[in-house]
Every structure is written in structure tokens, then in C-alpha cells.
Chain A
């Protein structure tokens, strides 16, 4: 045994050396090559190109589809391409003749789709899996990979929550199920897509999304679908370098304006009059404000546009023995702050090397790394931006106009908060290193049997440093000897370092077997997988007695804080899949995963997740052959079970903890943190179980020019966590643990319609996708209802989970008389606070009082239920154009605080509130009311019922936007050649170019979430304009 192994290793070594020699020493044996290029219908393809990869010789096929390449190396390979068709690569045949059938791009039936632990021809897929390839991904420029996928894949629901550089919090949700599992090059990831979103799109070969129960092959973590990324690999031929560089500018998609000084003063004056009848300003004071200069806080703090740049250089090539793909990437965004202190940089590298060690042995080694840094002023963007919104427009940024003295503001001076040198900074560094190694063995003498072993190691490091500096803001009082009075902010200065380090190891053993017995194709996959994860984090902080520099050791010894915790996770799984195809007509697949998790009680930690799916390609049936316009018709169905980790781990372990308990001072001056008593444990706690059913149909018409895919799906989850609501006597002294009690259901449809065609040199395609899904609560554990009203109002079981209750708006009161005759809507205050122009609500139950009983379930919540995208592609000669329209619908946005209250916190208020009801002469209480869009201006406490939940504030945020446009020009080859290049393309693209949405919502950007406190103060989403170049040499 040992001897055999040695011999194998020796042979492998020799083969490796020989291969490398061969690779570096290519013999130049040349033949002339002739051939014919046709399409699937055996029609010739004039204008198709045959290119020799090594020599770069190229020729175009004639009217009959024939071509001749005078002399090519036998080592070379030939790429056959034609606009509108999938390119194919063939080795040079010894006999010098080749016949090629190109498949139209639209059909993609022969496309190889990556599925869990394997691949499958698209035509033979039985599950709902979508795949998107490099070229389709790279149609826009954005630092987050998610932005390059949005709108392109049916059922992949993506929402960008903020535009902040280095913030990768984009929501990715498959079909409305939730956060999917990410698998990169066959290895499940542990970080909720953080690494995924940071991948360099240039390195990606394809991304496929498993949307139905086929995900069962990933077992316990797959209830929400799986996103599988495959990175690029080497090819054959001499090194081919590619450089891609983009530079662009980014600016907010839109920005709500705040009141200027005149608007502020007029509104402020009216707020006082409308509440108390007393003006805030004398007419002279008011006029002085109207004429006075106004401070543009936003303009002082933020730039109009920021820059972004991306560079990627890669090389790929190889021989029969070894192939490689090596790439380096760099991404930089400098952020919208004038101070330049909010920015992001990312460096990535990847090296994928495959070596054919021996006829039957193949090794693949993949190394990848990332280093990224995000810098930010310590105040955080929210507070800085808050300052630009709320600082009063008459206030000056500097005390006495002296730029050495930043002025104290009523709330925040955004100029000091946005500067790291004044108020401190926070720096987030991320480092990731991945090493994957795979060894494949084609078992000799048993055709179709392959053994594979894979080991993967992922190391993640996060280093955060935060410095909060104390600084001074000033007021100016000329009466004092030193007229600049200092006001200390953020005292004392504080510093902290936080580090997090994790190691994840995945081991896999695969056994693959494929065989064909006449028309029966059989396949089997068996995998054993083990995942372990370990992390350690620690935080240390100190306060300064006096700030010297930004080192922990230089800070004071008082009030030191430390914290740290480790975490361990482990899982083991046995995975199997069996496939059966009959003549590519009937497909049947059964797969399972037997998954064990560390989280649960040893007796109940193993779960079995099976899926069965089938496909029927009707278009392959005899009776369909005559229907000439149908080129593809497939029905498929899948049904299976997946799981999802539920609750905190170790809930089965009874134990005392030092968190959550109180402390006591037994010895004077010594605080002892006590141990809390154990919670009541639930040994039966287990995963949620999801049953997913999917029915799909795929249709191709007119020789695959028109393609349609349609899916309906339903997911039923059981065992969602809840506390049992038996009414325990309150003398029991404890609360019951979480149990697997509740259930819900997601239902949805999705479809994809694509059309592609060619008119002479002009090729084009158009593709639309659509997804609509809603979630319904089923069983919801709760106590008994008090009465039917309570049930109607508070019940949540067997109802859509996305409904929000509100008042029905009837319009605005037009007169005092109308107010006097209206139902009472102001509670104890009656209608005394209501003024003409205030919002009027419908008295649903007709009891003359507007109260909670009049609320109706009239709004969708804040999560979009409907997603759609439309992609247009066109190419003419060297030009190519890609446009993507994308949107979401059936959701609402409601802001709170500054954007949705007049004079919230007594600070500045948005300019749109200026369009309001007001008296013609504010100083004359008898002058007529002039109508406006908003009610008469008042402070929140005097505003009566204007802020009740209604369509005034909770707005439909549905939108459609031109997500991206890209126009490229491939420079003619003969010009490029002279520069010593193989290929060069220049392009221009734009992101988030135009948005269509509700006019109130649009300035905030409907896609962005409301953010902290629903204030809408997160970083604006940006539109960008970029120019790039892509060069091959």
C-alpha cells in the first residue's frame, strides 16, 4: 500500500514535470484547417469567425459557412463565434477538417449549470435553478457584487439599503424566503454573504441560484435557497492577459432640500402663531431673516460627486497538464464627504491552478485573498448627515465667521463631525484568506467512477479601531475678555480596538458515478462533508485623561473596558443524489442530505432532508416534432424538504451564566458579577422544517428566438420559534423556553421571457423577468382573544404577514365649519387643535369618533413583494449596448422624525413643508387661509392628529429605474494589433440613471430603507457615470 502510494506520487511528479516542460516548450507542428459552421437547423452561418487562440489567426466564414485557416499549430485551439450564438472552442483535429454547429445564445439548453455538488445541462435540469454568467454580470460598475446581479435573475430579490462606501449590507433574498446560503467554489460560507458581496465580478465565471427544494442538498442551511459562485479557471493556450479599468463619478440619486433661512423663518413664525396665537418674530425680524444670508449646510459638508475606480488584471492560460487563472483587483471609492474621511479601498487576488498530475489524477488549488479598509469619521454618517439636515439655516458654521472656531450648533455641527482630525475616526479592516485544494481521481477500469477529495480553509479577520476625540465648538460673545467661548464635545476622548478572527475548515469526500446503458443515463453522487468553525473576538477600550495620540497605551488607565468571546460550530453531513435520464426526454432525480448539527440535543441533532424532482421534455416527443414553431417545451416539478437552524445553540444545556444576572458588593469596593440561574431548557428544540414545492415550464419558440420560463412555488415552514402561551401562574418564577410552534407559508410566481434575433449585422435581445411572492402566517402561538374586535385587530394567524394598519384619508379640512361638523379625531382634546388644511380621516365604524377602531389593514409593509427587471442587449458591428430596467413594488416607506414632522426636535425642517396652509397675512388672524399641500405649520405637540398613520406619511414606494446602461465599442482588430494587443474595448456605463417613483418618495430614493430611527439618514444611494477600458494582450 505504502509502496503503491510512493509509486503514484513519483509518477505524479514525473507527469507534472513533463507537463510543465511541454507547457513551456510548444512544438510548432502546423496543418491547414478547413471546416464548416452551421446552426442547429443545419443552416450555414456566413460571417461566423474562427480564431486560433495561440496564433491569433482569424477568418470569417463565407456564404456557405465554409472557412479555411491556412496554417495552425496542432497544439492550438480554435474559437468559433458568431453574434447571437454561444462561442465554442475546439482542439485542432489531426485531419485538418472540422464541422461546428453553433447554438443560438437564447436557448442556452446546452449551457452547463452549476448545481449543488455537481453540474447539469440546462436542458436536463429538473429543479428551479437560474444561472448568470460573467458577461451578463459585468454590465455595470459598482463595488458590491449584489448590484451587478440586481434585476437580472427572476426570483433573486435584491435591495440596496444604503450607498455608503464599504457598506455591504445589501439585502439578498431568494424568492421572498430570506437570506440564502452562499457557496463559493463548492464551499459553504459562514458570513451571510459578506464575502460574496465583496467578490470581484471580474473573477467570476458564473453565479447560480438554487431556488426550490433542490437546495435540500445543502440541508440545514438551505431553507432560503442557495447562491453558488464559481470562479474562473485556467484554459488552454499561451498566457492571455486581461486588463479592465474603470473610472467614474458617483452622486446621490436625489436629495430632499431643507428649508432655507427665509422658509425656516416664515414657518417658525407661523408655528408659534398657529399654536398660541403669538408671533415668534416681529415683522421686522422676519423680514431680516428673509433677506439674510442662508447657510447651506449640505453644500458645506458634502461634495456634489465622489469618484470611484476599479482595476483588475488577470492572466489565464495553460496546457494539457496545467492551467491557471491569476487575478488582482483593486476598488476604491472616496465618498461624498468634503473632508474625504469616509472612503473605502479593497484589494483582492485569486489564483486558481489545475494540474493534471497523471492520466487519472487531477489537482486543483485555489488561493484567494482580500484586504479591505473602510474609513469613517467617528460620528458616523448618520450623525453627520443629520447635521446637514437639522442645523439651522441662519446659524453660522464658524463663530464670528472665523474659520479657526467652528461654531456650536443647536444640535450637530456637521463640519466638525465630518472631520476625523477633529472628532476622531473609525477604521474597519477586513482580511480574508481562502485556500481550497481538490484532488480528483478517475478510477481506472470503472468508466464513469470518479473520487474526489476537497479541503478548504477560510480565515477571516476583522480589525476595528475607533477613536472618539473630544473637541471644542465655540460661541462668540464680544462682551467677554476672550470672546470665543469654548464648549467641549465628546469629553472624555475614548479609544477602542476590536478584533475578530475566525477559522473555518471544510472537508469533503465525493464519489461520483455516471453511466449510460443504451438510452438510460444514470448518475450517482455521494458526498461526506464536515464543517468546523471557530472564532475569537476581543475588544479593549480606554478613556483619555488628556488626548495625546491614537494609541491605547497612551490613553488613561481609568475606565478601561474589555470584552471577549469565542464561538465554535460544527456540522457533518452525508449527501446523495441519483439521476436518471431517458433519451434526454424523461428526467428523474432524487437527492438527500443527512445533516448533523452541534446546535441541538445529541439525540435530536441529525436531520434528513430529501427532495425528488422530475422533468419531461415534451418537445423531444414524436408528436411534438411537427409543431415547427415550438423548439423547446419542458415541464418540471420538484418537492422536498429543507431545514433552517433555529434559535441560539445549546438550548438543551442547563447551565448558569454570568450574563443576565445581577451583581453585588460583598466586599467594600469590589463588585462581583453574579451568576444567573439557568433558564428552563428545551431539549426538543430543533430546526425549522420547510416543505417546498415548485412547478415549472420552459418554452422555446421560433428556433429559440422566444424563450419563456414560468415557475410557481410554495414554501411551508413549520417549527418556527415561539414561547408556548400556556398561562403559567405568575408564582412559577420562570419563563418557558422557545419551542418549535409556529408556521408560515410563502407563495409566489416568477417568469422570464426572452426574445433575441438578428437583422443583418444587428443583433439584439430583450429579456424580462418578474417575481411576486407573499408570506402568510399560519399558526401563531398567542393567548385567547378578548373579543371579536380584538381578534380582527390583533390576530395574526392565517393572515398575510405584510399588512400594516392605518387610517383612511379623506382629504384635508377646508374650513373651520367643516372641522366643527366632523367626527372627533383629537381624543380628549376634541377637534380643538385642528386647523383648516389638517388631514381628515374616515370614520369607518360611524361612531363619530376617529380612534384605533377606525384603523384598517390598508398598507403593505416595508418589504417589496414584487420585483421585475428588463434587459435590452443590442450589438452592431463593434458596438454593443446593454440596458437594464429594474424595479420593485407592493411595499411602503414611512419616515419618522425630521423628514416626516414639521420642526422635529425644534430643528430645521424639509423645504417641502413650505407648501402649506397659511394665513394670507400671518400677523392678521382674520386674514383668509391660503391652501397648500401640507397642513398649517405647527410643532409636533400642537399638530393634533396630522401624524396618524395614513397614506400621507406611509407612501407606496414602488419604483422602476434605469438601473444600468452600458455602451461599448470594440476597436477593430487591425488597429488593435498595431498596438500589440489582441482585443480592446472601451465602454461607458451608468448606474441608477433614472428613477420613476412617487413624487414624495423619489427624493429619498425608494429603494433605500428608512434606516436608523426610520429617519432616512443613511447614506444616499448613488448614480454613477463611468468610463472603462478592457484590453486583452
Chain B
């Protein structure tokens, strides 16, 4: 009897641990576990920084800072081999999802429930291996939980080829598409058949591009010879086909459409476009998959870091994303559809290639108001970027690089205020008060260096809340416009024409342009698709991977410096007017992309025994 009591007394249960089987046997419990898996999912949202995912504090360099979309107001860093890794965390998520998928067969739930579980775990695996493959090429595929029983060797799984890895992603996408429901009860933001299909278009397009454009940058070494990186060209169309099929599923059977496809004016189009990112829940027809932010302190930092200095509301580090002149030049003007329309500052023939600074002899175009120079540009420019002199949060955003004195001496980005004969005092940056302008001052790294400030995703309705991780704007991970553009690219790159592909792709391309206020259709060409992609999906972390997968990075960045547009007050005329100077980014550096960076190096080869990526 004594023994019996004694055992009972000591048989306590931990009060902070839940029983796994009981948890997975109830949909609410599965949801609890899923919350942790979705949290780890490599969604390139507002907390996706060069250091990784879910970066709540400190870091503020996003992928755009490493492309031609933007420069940082303070840091001069270019891509290094340590950036954008995701290995250990990836394999932790793989372990976590394998724990779930391994448990499914033993659960006492209906076959229906099990299928949903199979679909959801396949989706998570697809997403995870997609994120690994685009960084590392072929990786170790681990599809069930590994058990450590004292022997390290049995845990070592060699890398699959890059093709096998992408094919694994495709298979998991197919399982997910097959098993996942079309919607979840109550509209839960979880993977559906459609989300899985959208993921497949993105992933397959990446794989297809590797196959098609891999020879643009020749890598060598063991990883190449064993096909751990790279896909043979002949497989390109297989993947393009998969993009097309998955996109077709969405376009033909899915409930999605573009948000506000027929605006009455470019102004309305710009505002529609901006609002969709300010609050994605206004656009359920376009947002296929939303990652929500709702918990203060576990939000994000876009509002604090990227508002212009004038609307920082006391936050000491604003203004960090500066869209480049390259990005601004990309946009079409409504007058010339089908081609980029660079900013012209004068009638000079070499105007758009002249970055030599202020030239007193040059006949600059003069403007009454600094935003006049952007008249007639694509609505999405206005929705994406805060242009000099435009309104933001009921404040005129002052971006001014200096002035030209009546005697023709330029005073640009430095120097004392100048009191004009009319009695008015001109300050270099537009004001004597640092909270009253947003451009070019080098103080604190808070002022744009390019002449443009960032707008997309920022919430115009509320003032900046001081402190980290207070931002609660939701992020659209997959939206219908991307699927259309993935489809269009697959069609134009593959030459596949069956099932009326070209017509559908052309229509898709022009539907997006129409939503942006364009009235004239343009033909389906590689250039038109790529420009449309860069314009429509700007700052959605696409450009970085597009340069990677299309192997364009090393040709774009060859001792390359980005450019800025300086709005300058010209006091040589009365009343004073604005002129603009195209120049290199002040205090900027030149960057060169090393082709080995098309793949990240594999961390920890000392213990995992894997073949390293080329040239590391």
C-alpha cells in the first residue's frame, strides 16, 4: 500500500505541456499548431529583411535596397554572402511540419479531416522547400521526422539535384491543390486550393527561369557537375507549362479578379492601387492569401522606418527607403503606352544620360511646382512613391536639394540659407526646421537621397506610432495580379500557344494596365511583361528574385551606381521656379554583383557533409 501511495504522490503532470495526439485530433488544436507553422512560413512580408524572417526590431534593409528599386538613406551596404539566408530555420520548420504529417495516419479523425491535414502540410512543405531551393539550389529532402539515436551519420541526407528539389516542390503543390478546401470556415486566412495553385505559379516560374536563363551566368564546380545547382535548358518548358496550368486553374475556376478594374481616371486608379496595400481586406477579390498583423509589439516597422521625415511623428529613424531614379524612369506615361518614359529635365539630346550635375549653361525645363514634372505618368507611380511636393498625411512633402542663386551659383546639398532680394529666405533643404522637409540632408540618415520617398504599404490614415513592431498593416502574399503576370511571363517565354494562351496572356497583361488607368492595349512581349511586373509588383520583394532567377543581376550591377533626381529652386528667374538635375545618388557607392551569389552558400557543411555551392 505504501508503494501505491508513494507512486501516486510523485506522479505529477507538467502544467505547461499539451498532449500531441489529443491536440491533433481536434480541428481547434490543429489550428493552434498551425499558428506556429504559419508563423514560421517564409512569407516575404514586412518583417522579411536581409537578416531573415520575423525580424521585429532593429533591421530595416529590405530586398529592394539590394536592387535597382531603391537605395537606403543611411546604409551603403550591398548584397553580401551572409544576407538572405534561411537554412536552420527552414529545417526547423521542416521538422515541425513533419511531426504533424507523420502523426496524420494514426489520428482518429475522419478521412476528410485527414485529407485537409495532408493538403495543409503539403502546402507548408512546398512553401518551405521553395524558399530553400531559390536560395540554395538542390537541398536535402527530409520528408519525415528524423530520430537521433546516437549515430550522427544516419541523419546526414545528401543534397538532391536542383531539379529534384523543384520537382518535390511541384509535387507538394499538387498534393496541396488536390486536398485543400476552396475556403476555410469563417474565411480563415489559411492555405486553400487557390493559394497552393498561386504558390505553384510562383515556384514553377522560378524553376523555369533557372532552366532557361541559367547559361547567362556560368558557374562551375562539384555542385554544378552533380547538378545540385542548375537545371538543364530542356526542362524549361515543362515548368512554364506547370505555371500555365496552375494559373489556368485559378483564372478559370477560381473566384478571383482584379480589384477595381475600371477606374474613371488615373487619379482614381492611383488611389485604388494605394488603398489596396493600405488595407488588403478591402480587396478580397484580388487578395488570394493575406498575412495579417494584429498584435501590437508583434507587428512590423514599415510605418516607422519608411515614412518621410516630415511625418515621422517623433520617431528618430524615418525615411529609409528611397526609390531610385531608375525606378521612376521605368514608368510609362499615358501619352506613350508600351514604353518607359524617363524623366527629362531639359531638351538636351543627352539629357537622360547626363549625370554630371548642375550645368549653368543647360536650358533646364522649369516648373512652378515640383510635382509638375511627373504629370501624365502611370498612376502606380503616384500610388507607390511620394513625389516631391505632393501631399501625404495632409502635409506637403518637401524634397529639395538646394537652390541656384540669381547670379547662377548653385548651392546644392550644403551651405547657408540665402535671403533673396524679395526678402524671402531660401534654405537648402526647404526649411530651417528639420521636421519640415524630407530630402537630402545627411543628418541621421533620415532624408531621401534620391529625391523620392516611399509610399506603398504605408498607412495614411494614422500617425506613426512610436516604437518597434507597432505596425499592423496586413500584407498580401499572393494576389491575382501576380498570377496573371506569372502566366503572361510563362506564355511569352515558353512560346506555348495552345488553349488560346497568347490571347489570354495579352488580355491579362492589359487588364492590369487598364486597372492602372491605361486605355491603350500593348502587345505581349518579354519587355512589356517585365516592365509591367516591375511596376505592378514593385517593393513586393519580387525584383530581387526576378534578377536572381532570370540571371540579370550580374549584368545590371557591374560597378553600377543608382541615380537620383534633385529638385532645385531656380532663383535666376522671378518668381522662382523648380528645375531638376539628374545625378548619381549622393554619397552613393558603386556595386558589382558576384555571380556566385546566384546561390547562397550552404551553412554548416562541416557537420552536414553536403557539397558546397559553386565558388564558395
Q: Chain A interface (Cβ within 8 Å of chain B)?
A: 530, 532, 565-572, 596-598, 602, 605, 649-650, 653-659, 661-678, 680, 726-734, 736
Nearest chain-A residue to B151 (Cβ)? Answer: A726
* Of A597, A662, A670, A733, the contact of B39 (CB 8 Å cutoff): A662
Jot down 24 A-B pairs with beta carbons below 8 A, ordered by A: A569-B12, A570-B9, A602-B7, A605-B10, A649-B14, A657-B16, A661-B36, A661-B39, A662-B40, A663-B39, A666-B188, A667-B187, A667-B189, A669-B294, A674-B33, A675-B35, A675-B36, A728-B607, A729-B156, A730-B604, A731-B140, A732-B146, A734-B95, A736-B148
Q: Which residues of A contact B10 (CB under 8 A)?
A: 570-572, 596-598, 602, 605
Question: Once bound together, how far apart are the Cα atoms of A654 and B103, in whole Å?
Answer: 14
Assess whether B561 is interfacial by the CB under 8 Å rule: no
Nearest chain-B residue to A734 (Cβ)? Answer: B95
Question: Do A662 and B54 touch across chains, with their CB atoms under 8 A apart?
Answer: yes
Assess whether B348 is interfacial by the CB under 8 Å rule: no
Q: Which residues of B contact A670 (CB under 8 A)?
A: 294
19 further A-B contacts with Cβ under 8 Å, apart from A663-B298, A734-B95, are: A568-B15, A569-B12, A598-B10, A602-B7, A649-B14, A656-B17, A656-B19, A663-B39, A663-B295, A664-B39, A665-B294, A666-B35, A672-B32, A674-B33, A674-B37, A675-B32, A678-B17, A726-B152, A727-B607
Assess whether B342 is interfacial by the CB under 8 Å rule: no
Q: Which residues of B contact A672 (CB under 8 A)?
A: 31-32, 35
Assess whether B252 is interfacial by the CB under 8 Å rule: no
Q: Which residues of A contact B292 (CB under 8 A)?
A: 664-666, 668-669
How many residue pairs bridge A and B at CB < 8 Å?
186
Assess whether B608 is interfacial by the CB under 8 Å rule: yes
Question: Do A662 and B186 touch across chains, with their CB atoms under 8 A apart?
Answer: no
Question: Do A729 and B604 touch across chains, with their CB atoms under 8 A apart?
Answer: yes
Question: Once bound together, how far apart are the Cα atoms of A606 and B231, in whole Å?
Answer: 60
Assess whether B374 is interfacial by the CB under 8 Å rule: no
Nearest chain-A residue to B37 (Cβ)? Answer: A674
Question: Once bound together, how far apart are the Cα atoms of A511 and B317, in whole Å?
Answer: 74
Question: Once bound together, how far apart are the Cα atoms of A678 and B91, in whole Å?
Answer: 15
8 A-B pairs closest in CB distance: A662-B39, A655-B17, A733-B95, A674-B36, A674-B35, A665-B292, A727-B607, A729-B608
Q: Which residues of A contact B557 (CB under 8 A)?
A: none
Q: Chain B interface (Cβ within 8 Å of chain A)?
A: 6-7, 9-20, 23, 29, 31-40, 54, 87-88, 91-96, 98-99, 139-140, 142, 146, 148, 152, 155-157, 184, 186-190, 281, 291-295, 298, 474, 603-604, 606-609
Question: Once bound together, how far apart are the Cα atoms of A224 and B567, in whole Å?
Answer: 74
Question: Do A598 and B33 touch across chains, with their CB atoms under 8 A apart?
Answer: no
Question: Once bound together, how far apart are the Cα atoms of A657 and B88, in whole Å?
Answer: 21
Question: Do B34 and A664 touch across chains, with their CB atoms under 8 A apart?
Answer: yes
Nearest chain-A residue to B91 (Cβ)? Answer: A733
* Of B98, B155, B189, the contact of A668 (CB 8 Å cutoff): B189
Question: Once bound together, how far apart are the Cα atoms of A676 and B18, in whole Å?
Answer: 10
Q: Which residues of A contact B295 (CB under 8 A)?
A: 663, 665, 671
Q: Which residues of B contact A568 (CB under 8 A)?
A: 12, 15
A728 with B148, Cβ < 8 A, contacts A659-B16, A661-B39, A674-B35 known: yes
Q: How distant is A610 from chain B, measured CB to nearest CB, in Å?
A: 20
Question: Once bound together, how far apart are the Cα atoms of A656 and B292, in whole Å?
Answer: 24
A730 with B95, Cβ < 8 A, contacts A570-B12, A662-B36, A663-B295 known: no
Q: Which residues of A contact B188 (CB under 8 A)?
A: 666-667
Question: Once bound together, how far apart are the Cα atoms of A665 and B190, in whole Å?
Answer: 9
Q: Which residues of A contact B11 (CB under 8 A)?
A: 598, 602
Q: How distant is B116 from chain A, measured CB to nearest CB, in Å?
A: 14
Question: Do A662 and B152 touch across chains, with their CB atoms under 8 A apart?
Answer: no
Question: Do B12 and A729 touch across chains, with their CB atoms under 8 A apart?
Answer: no
Q: How distant is B31 from chain A, measured CB to nearest CB, in Å?
A: 7
Question: Do B39 and A656 touch across chains, with their CB atoms under 8 A apart?
Answer: no
Nearest chain-B residue to A736 (Cβ)? Answer: B148
Nearest chain-A residue to B41 (Cβ)? Answer: A664
Nearest chain-B residue to A729 (Cβ)? Answer: B608
Q: How distant is A652 from chain B, measured CB to nearest CB, in Å?
A: 10
* Of B6, B23, B54, B603, the contact of A730 (CB 8 Å cutoff): B603
* Of A596, A653, A730, the contact of B17 (CB 8 Å cutoff): A653
Question: Once bound together, how far apart are the Cα atoms of A13 and B11, in whole Å?
Answer: 40
Question: Do A671 and B36 touch across chains, with their CB atoms under 8 A apart?
Answer: no
Q: Which residues of A contact B148 (CB under 8 A)?
A: 680, 728, 732, 734, 736
Q: Which residues of B contact A731 (CB under 8 A)?
A: 91, 94, 139-140, 142, 155-157, 608
Nearest chain-A residue to B40 (Cβ)? Answer: A662
Q: Which residues of A contact B187 (CB under 8 A)?
A: 667
Nearest chain-A residue to B94 (Cβ)? Answer: A733
A662 with B87, Cβ < 8 A, contacts A729-B604, A731-B140 known: no
Question: Once bound together, how far apart are the Cα atoms of A995 and B79, in whole Å?
Answer: 59
Question: Once bound together, how far apart are the Cα atoms of A667 and B188, in whole Å?
Answer: 5
Q: How distant is A778 from chain B, measured CB to nearest CB, in Å?
A: 23
Question: Do A667 and B186 touch across chains, with their CB atoms under 8 A apart?
Answer: yes
Q: How distant is A747 from chain B, measured CB to nearest CB, in Å?
A: 34
Q: Which residues of B contact A669 (CB under 8 A)?
A: 292, 294
Question: Do B16 and A732 touch across chains, with their CB atoms under 8 A apart?
Answer: no
A650 with B604, Cβ < 8 A, contacts A663-B295, A667-B189, A670-B294 known: no
- Max chain B C-beta neighbours (<10 A), residue from A655, A728, A731: A731
Q: How distant is A39 from chain B, measured CB to nearest CB, in Å?
A: 52
Question: Do A656 and B20 touch across chains, with their CB atoms under 8 A apart?
Answer: yes
Question: Once bound together, how far apart are the Cα atoms of A673 and B188, in whole Å?
Answer: 15
Nearest chain-B residue to A737 (Cβ)? Answer: B148
Q: Which residues of A contact B88 (CB under 8 A)?
A: 730
Question: Once bound together, how far apart are the Cα atoms of A568 and B15, in whole Å?
Answer: 8
* Of A570, A596, A656, A736, the contact of B33 (CB 8 Å cutoff): A656
Q: How distant is B57 from chain A, measured CB to nearest CB, in Å?
A: 15
Q: Which residues of B contact A733 (CB under 8 A)?
A: 91-96, 98, 142, 146
Question: Do A668 and B91 touch across chains, with their CB atoms under 8 A apart?
Answer: no
Q: Which residues of B contact A567 (CB under 8 A)?
A: 15
Question: Once bound together, how far apart are the Cα atoms of A649 and B15, in whole Å?
Answer: 11
- Max chain B C-beta neighbours (<10 A), residue from A605, A657, A729: A729
A657 with B156, Cβ < 8 A, contacts A662-B39, A671-B295 known: no
- Max chain B C-beta neighbours (<10 A), residue from A569, A605, A672, A732: A732
Q: How distant is A884 from chain B, measured CB to nearest CB, in Å?
A: 45
Q: How distant is A275 from chain B, measured CB to nearest CB, in Å?
A: 21
Nearest chain-A residue to B298 (Cβ)? Answer: A663
Question: Once bound together, how far apart are the Cα atoms of A675 and B18, in whole Å?
Answer: 9
Question: Once bound together, how far apart are the Cα atoms of A654 and B604, in whole Å?
Answer: 28
Question: Once bound together, how far apart are the Cα atoms of A671 and B474, in whole Å?
Answer: 13
Question: Once bound together, how far apart are the Cα atoms of A672 and B38, in whole Å?
Answer: 11
Q: How distant is A575 from chain B, measured CB to nearest CB, in Å?
A: 14
Q: How distant is B86 from chain A, measured CB to nearest CB, in Å?
A: 12
A675 with B15, Cβ < 8 A, contacts A663-B39, A727-B607 known: no
Question: Do A665 and B20 touch across chains, with their CB atoms under 8 A apart?
Answer: no
Q: How distant is A573 from chain B, measured CB to nearest CB, in Å?
A: 10
Question: Once bound together, how far apart are the Cα atoms of A678 and B100, in whole Å?
Answer: 11
Question: Once bound together, how far apart are the Cα atoms of A730 and B298, in whole Å?
Answer: 28
Q: How distant is B25 from chain A, measured CB to nearest CB, in Å?
A: 13
Q: Which residues of A contact B281 (CB under 8 A)?
A: 668
Q: Which residues of B contact A728 (CB under 8 A)?
A: 148, 152, 155, 607
Question: Do B40 and A658 touch across chains, with their CB atoms under 8 A apart?
Answer: no
A727 with B294, Cβ < 8 A, contacts A655-B18, A656-B18 known: no
Question: Once bound together, how far apart are the Cα atoms of A670 and B19, in whole Å?
Answer: 24
Q: How distant is B155 from chain A, measured CB to nearest CB, in Å?
A: 5
- Max chain B C-beta neighbours (<10 A), residue from A530, A602, A665, A669: A665
Q: Which residues of A contact B36 (CB under 8 A)?
A: 661-664, 674-677
Question: Do A661 and B35 touch across chains, with their CB atoms under 8 A apart?
Answer: yes
Q: How distant is B19 from chain A, measured CB to nearest CB, in Å?
A: 6
Question: Once bound together, how far apart are the Cα atoms of A665 and B38, in whole Å?
Answer: 9
Q: Which residues of B contact A596 (CB under 8 A)?
A: 6, 10
- Max chain A C-beta neighbours (<10 A), residue from B10, B54, B603: B10
Q: How distant is B173 from chain A, measured CB to nearest CB, in Å?
A: 21
Q: Which residues of B contact A726 (CB under 8 A)?
A: 152
Question: Once bound together, how far apart are the Cα atoms of A732 and B94, in whole Å?
Answer: 9
